Amino acid sequence: MRKLSLRHFNGYFLVTGPDTEPAKFKTRQQALTWCAAHYPDLPIKEDRPKRLAKTPRAAGSEQRTGGGES
C-alpha cells in the first residue's frame, strides 16, 4: 500500500510520496489539507521525532552548596 509521508524538516512540513514531488508547507494544517485535496485515498504517515529521555546526572557532578568545612 502506498502512503504519503509528512515530516518536520528545517522549520517546514515536508510531504513526500512514491509518485509525488516533495511539497513544502509552513503549517501542519496546510500540509494535511493539501494531502486530503490531492490524494484523498492515500493514508498519511507522520514521522515524529522520539523525545529523548532525560539522562540522570552522575553522582560527582551535583552542585554543592556552601556549609563550609575549613
**Average pLDDT of the residues in 2-30:** 91
Percent of the chain residues topping a pLDDT of 70: 67
pTM of the model: 0.63
Q: Given a cut of 50, is residue 45 above it in pLDDT?
A: yes
The per-residue pLDDT for 27 is 93
Neighbouring CB atoms inside 10 A of 63's CB total 5
Rounded to an integer, what distance in angstroms lies between the CA atom of residue 8 and that of residue 31? 11
**Residue 12 DSSP SS3:** strand
Give pLDDT, residue 33: 95
